[in-house]
Amino acid sequence: MVSIDHVAHKVLTYIPYVLVLIDLRYEGVKCGRDGSVDNHMEMGKKLLAAGQLADALSHFHAAVDGDSKNYMAYYRRATVFLAMGKSKSALPDLSRVIELKPDFKSARLQRGNLLLKQGGLDEAERDFKTVLNSSPSDREEGEAKSQLTKSDEMQRLVAQARRSYSSQDYVTAAAQLDTIIETCVWDVTSREMRAECFIEMGEMGKAVSDLKAASKLKNDNTQAFYKLSIIYYKLGDHEMSLTEVRECLKLDPDHKQCYSHYKQVKKLNKQIRSAEELIQEQRYEEAVSKYEAVMKTEPNVHHLSLLAKERMCHALAQGQQASRAVSVCSEVLKSDPENVNVLKDRAEAYIQEEQYEEAIQDYETASKQSENDRQIKEGLEKAQRLLKQSHKRDYYKILGVKRNAQKKEITKAYRKLAQQWHPDNFHKPEEKKKAEKKFIDIAQAKEVLTDPEMRTKFDHGEDPMDPESQQGRPHHQHFHQGYQGFNPFGSGPFNFKFNHN
């Protein structure tokens, strides 16, 4: 969106710069009753010509203070205001000039131009017609006719836009308002009407741009701030919603709509901040509960529900609640299938669930949206390693434990399975042979998963018990000698005994 100051500054393109420097003695100017006023006027004029606007403005302020009926001082000050992009300040000065000297055509033309830009079409038309009826110069006549034609065209378009809006033809109304605002760039009413059209069309970003402009163009525009807050709220941007509604309350602390909305947004904002703090503290279950409270606070705003579910998905994945994480993440992805953060979180949950192909698919989808994301690249490599590894011997599966199992859980599982598959429990040759193999696998799994170094290697796709994956590094040969080569109940990592009846 073009800034208001930038737009205002462009007014000079409609006012020949010669007006700034013109010696207006032919208009019958008498520079005040006081010599100091003359000095301020002369200094201001020189500084203006040199482009030193702030210093020039100070001198014209002093000239106005010294002689409140010196219309030339007001006119010069208005010219500086225009050059500084301060049309709001220039307009009262131009009106004062016309009040003091009604036949000052240059001031009327400039005021008419400003009024046209502000959407004051009737007032602008009167100024242009007054200039045409007062024996203008050729230049003044040409400019007044051109601007009067433009004003008439804008009045016709405004009437059409209002009819289109009233008949709920928002697309046509918005197009007509586009043309109006090209000329009436500071017209608050047209911008607010176009914002309403954009809201009805679902183009919230464009509505925000127009409402922000309206909040600057019109003093104390509480309604613009209220509407901005509502839009941000519906878009799920609770922080910006709170910022805008606070601006409304600064202007009018008793504004009923803003105060009521403020209480709602503040409550929601507090809940979300609290939930995010819990995530930072790795208190994931509490964070999930807090986001469930967010959805109860505002169940009817789709984007806020989506935001809450997105963060719940993250907390559940981080909190190792993989099954529920997959479910919640999938709900978000139905509405927002290219959400990179949710794709990464669901992929992590899939890995926890040992659904490596699904994890790879999510990481690949996320990678298309964010090619240089290091986390995606590392996650994809991990999922691919684990998929490859899953086709081989999986020590976690052998013991029937999760990949995030603690040492105590691993040892407990091992003891139970070792007792179940001890070869002495079997007597038939085939059963005994099967039990021997099973028992060795169980023992190997226990040694790998209770040794931090070997477990880390295994988690990175390397089997510490596989000679081929060792690439020349030492490995535990005794496990490859079969059951006959060692005593699992003697010394070493398997030093425990079963009670036999």
Q: Is the separation of the CB atoms in 473 and 466 below 8 Å?
A: no
Q: Where do the domains of the chain lie? A: 320-390, 396-485
Q: In the predicted model, is pLDDT for residue 96 greater than 90? A: yes
pLDDT: is 391 or 214 the higher one? 214
Q: Which of 344-353, 392-401, 467-476 has the lowest mean pLDDT?
A: 467-476
pLDDT at 462: 81
Per the structure block, which two tokens stand in for 267? 């409550």
Q: Is the separation of the CB atoms in 363 and 379 below 8 Å?
A: yes
Residue 392 pLDDT class (50, 70, 90 cuts): confident
**Any idea what DSSP says for residue 391?**
T
Per the structure block, which two tokens stand in for 166? 């009233």
Q: Identify the CATH assignment for 396-485 out of 3.40.1280.10, 3.40.50.300, 3.40.50.2300, 1.10.287.110.
A: 1.10.287.110
Q: In the predicted model, is pLDDT for residue 337 greater than 90? A: yes
Q: In the predicted model, is pLDDT for residue 356 greater than 50? A: yes
**Any idea what DSSP says for residue 29?**
-
The three state secondary structure string of 131-182 is HHCCCCCHHHHHHHHHHHHHHHHHHHHHHHHHHHHHCCCHHHHHHHHHHHHH
pLDDT at 124: 96
* pLDDT tens column, 198-239: 999 999 999 999 999 999 998 899 999 999 999 999 988 989
Instruction: Pick the closest to residue 137 from 25, 27, 23 (CA basis).
Output: 27
Q: Is the separation of the CB atoms in 332 and 306 below 8 Å?
A: yes
How many CA atoms lie within 13 Å of 217's alpha carbon, on the beta-carbon side? 26
Burial class, 208, CB count within 10 angstroms (exposed 0-12 / middle 13-18 / buried 19+): buried
Cα distance between residue 93 and residue 95, in whole Å: 5
Residue recorded with tokens 């003697």: 490
> Does the pTM exceed 0.85?
no
Cα distance between residue 110 and residue 131, in whole Å: 11
Per the structure block, which two tokens stand in for 360? 């790879």
| Angle value at C-alpha 120, between 12 and 208, nearest 5 degrees | 80
pLDDT: is 155 or 469 the higher one? 155
Q: Is the separation of the CB atoms in 67 and 73 below 8 Å?
A: yes
Q: Is the separation of the CB atoms in 494 and 478 below 8 Å?
A: no
Residue recorded with tokens 């192909």: 357
pLDDT at 463: 81
Q: What are the phi and psi torsion angles at 356 (to 5°)?
A: -70, -35
**Any idea what DSSP says for residue 52?**
-
The angle, 0 to 180 degrees and rounded to 10, between the axes of the packed helices 356-369 and 340-352 is 160
Residue 5 pLDDT class (50, 70, 90 cuts): very low
How many CA atoms lie within 13 Å of 422's alpha carbon, on the beta-carbon side? 16
Instruction: Pick the closest to residue 244 from 255, 229, 259 (CA basis).
Output: 229
Residue 244 pLDDT class (50, 70, 90 cuts): very high
Per the structure block, which two tokens stand in for 176? 């007509």
Tell me the residue type at 463. D
- Cβ neighbors of 431 (< 8 A, separation 6 or more) are none
Burial class, 372, CB count within 10 angstroms (exposed 0-12 / middle 13-18 / buried 19+): exposed
Per the structure block, which two tokens stand in for 392? 């081989």
The SS3 assignment for 312 reads helix
Q: Is the separation of the CB atoms in 332 and 339 below 8 Å?
A: yes
What's the sign of the alpha-carbon dihedral 228, 232, 234, 235?
Answer: positive
Q: Would you give the end-to-end CA distance of the chain in angstroms?
A: 87
Q: Can you say how many angstroms the Cα of residue 152 is from the centroid of all Cα atoms in its chain?
A: 41
pLDDT at 11: 41
Q: Identify the CATH assignment for 320-390 out of 1.25.40.10, 3.40.50.11540, 3.20.20.390, 3.40.30.10.
A: 1.25.40.10
Q: Is the separation of the CB atoms in 217 and 227 below 8 Å?
A: no
66-87 burial code (b ≥16 CB/10 A, e <16): bbeebbbbbbbbbbbbbbbbbb
- Cβ neighbors of 210 (< 8 A, separation 6 or more) are 191, 192, 194, 195, 198
The SS3 assignment for 451 reads coil
Residue 248 pLDDT class (50, 70, 90 cuts): very high
| Angle value at C-alpha 28, between 27 and 32, nearest 5 degrees | 120
Q: What is the mean pLDDT of the chain?
A: 86
Q: Looking at residues 157-166, what average pLDDT do you find?
A: 96
Cα distance between residue 477 and residue 475, in whole Å: 6
Cα distance between residue 142 and residue 57, in whole Å: 30
pLDDT at 468: 61
